[in-house]
Structures are given as structure tokens and as C-alpha cells.
Amino acid sequence: MTKIRLGDTYTQEVRYTQANVDMFAKISGDNNPIHINPEYAAKTPFGKPIVHGFFAGAIFSKVFGTQWPGEGTIYMFQDMAFLAPVFVEKDYIAKFEAIEINDEKHRGVIKCTLEDSEGKIAISGQAKLMHKERF
């Protein structure tokens, strides 16, 4: 298993479906109509339903826990700024970059962004992770 080093990057393509947004609304209890009611959302500045911010940001958790660093990751901290709406059935790319590494404590700080296909950042943040083999 290779170590993640300062400056290493990883990317993951993602697309959100309305069915998954509806499921997240049921699971989380956040049934704000801006996420699940097209008629209501049409009257908002976005013009159509938007993906819940925490559902969109869950791509970071998915990647950390299953791909990069992967199994064995301890998620210690995450901040996120929601900079633009995320829409269903639109392609996005989650980007990750190691910006701090502490080999002694097996920890890393990862810059995370979610961007649309034109490069517009929808979510920006940082995560602190621990992984005994990868950091």
C-alpha cells in the first residue's frame, strides 16, 4: 500500500439522481421542497431542484472510506463551503489534494472540491484524516 504524500491528488466523477435525492430527503428528514418539488423549486433563484448540500458533500466521505485513502480511514474533521448549487443529472468531479501530512501521527489534511464539468466549484473544504498505512 503506497503512502499518500504532500501534493498527491485523486479525482472521482459523480452524478446525482433525483431518486437518490428523494431517498436522502427521507433518510435525513430534510424534505425542504427546494430539493424534491420541481414546481416549488421553479419559483426559486435556482429554477429547479437542488441537491442537498450534505448529500452532495457525502462524495468526500465515500472516497475517503472506500478509495483514497480507503478502508481503514478515520475521518476526524471536515469543513465545507457551499459556493454554488448542485443539480441532479449533471456531471461533477470531486477533486482531492494532500496539503498536509503528519507521518508520526499518520494524519493528513486533504483539500476537497466538487466542481461541475465547466470547472465551477460548488463545494470547497478540507478534511483531516488518519490512516495508519497511507499517511
The reported pLDDT for the residue numbered 68 is 98
Q: Does domain 9-130 have CATH number 3.10.129.10?
A: yes
Domain residues of the chain, as ranges? Answer: 9-130
Q: What is the pLDDT of residues 56-108, one digit of tens each?
A: 999 999 999 999 999 999 999 999 999 999 999 999 999 999 999 999 999 99
What's the order of all strands across the beta sheet hosting 107-116?
Answer: 9-15, 91-102, 107-116, 121-130, 74-82
Which letter does DSSP use for residue 124 in this model?
E
pLDDT at residue 114 is higher than 90:
yes
pLDDT at 1 over 90: no
Supply 134's cell numbers.
497511507
- For residue 52, is pLDDT > 90? yes
In whole numbers, what is the pLDDT of the chain averaged over residues? 97
pLDDT of res. 74: 98
At residue 39, the pLDDT reads 97
pLDDT at 94: 98
Q: What would the mean pLDDT of 1-24 be, rounded to a whole number? A: 97
Q: DSSP string spanning 11-35?
A: EEEEE--HHHHHHHHHHH----HHH
DSSP state at residue 82: E
Grid cell in block for residue 10: 485523486
Task: Give the rounded percent of residues in the chain with a pLDDT score beyond 90.
Answer: 99
The whole-angstrom distance between residue 6's C-alpha and the CA centroid of its chain comes to: 20
